[in-house]
């Protein structure tokens, strides 16, 4: 009768027990596992990248205007970039005006940091909603680095980074944190209303719109832009595009606050062909007052 060696017999139970114990440990005690993760990705990424290209070719992801030529898209991106600069400058001026009225000392949180952009292709989606990008902390990426597409479309933030790869958690992923934004009620963005958005898990975000006061009503319409306005994100990320209103639905619990469904300009943020990292300028940070 054949008897298994004790090591072969107990290896699986021991592995399960060790993994069970590790799952309860805080993240700071698991830094040593990053080395194993890096080795696995070195072996997997070269294999999965060609498969990702094939899948994207056979089933291309939809974008907001697929018929636009390359030149038209470049011009639209430039318009969006200028609009972002306008909205950020207007918001910064409003904050400084309020600060002067209250006679506060200058707070460097209002300092508009300079950033540099790094465009890198997506490699694959090893963990479902997580985007894996072939670049790492050698380029200055850190956990929390803001990621965009097409200049101004907010994608998410870096959730994990090592020397050669970065993992990006999109704002539409089920595990992403809720975000605050503003609905632009007119074309120039002078009329806004706040909203609180949560990912739905199907590529959209859903949330409530705040009323300015009990006497006022807001004109929420399908197609209006929604921009980031959240103190938990860097100053340079404020007013980046979250998406446009796809649907307006009543809230059964709060009839006076309509719920809006937001869809990013790119139909599925998990399948972006490439992303852009907004990396703070180190020299600029050293020169801050």
Q: Give the number of other CB atoms < 10 A from CB of residue 16.
A: 10
Whether 10 is covered by a domain: the verdict is no
Residue 129: pLDDT band with limits 50, 70, 90: confident
Residue 269 · residue 285 · CB < 8 Å = no
Closest CA to 245 of 216, 274, 206: 206
Alpha carbons 91 and 29: distance in angstroms, whole number: 41
Whether 116 is covered by a domain: the verdict is no
- Residue 269, SS3 per DSSP: helix
Bridge partner residues of 11 (DSSP): none
String of DSSP letters for 7-45:
HHHHHHHHHHHHHHHHTTS-GGGGGGGHHHHHHHHHHHH
Burial category of 154 from C-beta neighbours within 10 Å (exposed 0-12, middle 13-18, buried 19 and up): buried
SS3 sequence of 144-161: CCEEEECCCEEEEEEEEE
Alpha carbons 179 and 242: distance in angstroms, whole number: 10
**Element containing residue 121 per DSSP (H, E):** strand 115-127
- Is the confidence at residue 41, as pLDDT, over 80? no
Q: Give the number of other CB atoms < 10 A from CB of residue 54.
A: 10
Whether 15 is covered by a domain: the verdict is no
- Is the confidence at residue 262, as pLDDT, over 90? yes
Of all residues in the chain, the percent with pLDDT exceeding 90 is 20
Residue 189's domain comprises 179-270
Whether 71 is covered by a domain: the verdict is no
Closest CA to 257 of 227, 213, 289, 225: 213
Instruction: Write down the pLDDT at residue 151.
Output: 80
Whether 77 is covered by a domain: the verdict is no
Bridge partner residues of 208 (DSSP): 196, 259
Whether 44 is covered by a domain: the verdict is no
Both tokens of 227, joined, read 């921009």
- Give me the number of domains the chain comprises: 1
Closest CA to 179 of 114, 248, 226: 226
Contacts of 254 (CB under 8 A, 6+ apart): 208
Region 185-189 average pLDDT: 80
Whether 206 is covered by a domain: the verdict is yes
Average pLDDT value for the chain: 77
Half-sphere exposure at residue 50, Cβ-oriented, CA atoms within 13 angstroms: 2
Q: For the domain that residue 242 is a member of, what is the CATH number?
A: 2.40.10.350
Alpha carbons 263 and 228: distance in angstroms, whole number: 13
Whether 228 is covered by a domain: the verdict is yes
**Element containing residue 288 per DSSP (H, E):** none
The winner for highest mean pLDDT among 52-61, 99-108, 197-206, 269-278 is 197-206
Instruction: Write down the pLDDT at residue 82.
Output: 81
């Amino acid at each position: 009768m054949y008897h298994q060696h004790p090591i072969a017999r107990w290896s699986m139970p021991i592995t399960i027990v060790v993994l069970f114990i590790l799952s309860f440990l805080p993240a700071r005690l698991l830094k040593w596992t990053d080395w194993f993760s890096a080795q696995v990705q070195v072996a997997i990424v070269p294999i999965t990248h060609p498969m990702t290209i094939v899948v994207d070719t056979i089933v291309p992801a939809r974008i907001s205007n697929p018929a636009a030529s390359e030149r038209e898209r470049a011009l639209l991106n430039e318009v969006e970039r200028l609009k972002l600069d306008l909205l950020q400058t207007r918001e910064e001026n409003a904050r400084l005006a309020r600060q002067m009225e209250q006679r506060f000392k200058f707070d460097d949180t209002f300092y508009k940091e300079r950033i540099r952009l790094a465009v890198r292709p997506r490699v694959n989606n090893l963990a479902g909603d997580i985007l894996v990008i072939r670049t790492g902390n050698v380029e200055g990426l850190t956990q929390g680095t803001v990621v965009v597409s097409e200049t101004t479309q907010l994608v998410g933030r870096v959730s994990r980074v090592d020397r050669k790869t970065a993992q990006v958690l999109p704002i539409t992923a089920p595990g992403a944190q809720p975000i605050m934004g503003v609905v632009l009620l007119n074309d120039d963005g002078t009329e806004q209303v706040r909203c609180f958005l949560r990912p739905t898990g199907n590529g959209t975000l859903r949330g409530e719109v705040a009323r300015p006061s009990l006497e006022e009503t807001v004109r929420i319409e399908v197609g209006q832009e929604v921009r980031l306005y959240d103190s938990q994100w860097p100053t340079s990320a404020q007013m980046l595009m979250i998406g446009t209103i796809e649907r307006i639905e009543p809230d059964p619990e709060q009839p006076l606050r309509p719920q809006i469904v937001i869809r990013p300009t790119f139909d599925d943020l998990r399948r972006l062909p490439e992303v852009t990292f907004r990396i703070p300028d180190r020299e600029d940070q050293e020169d801050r007052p």
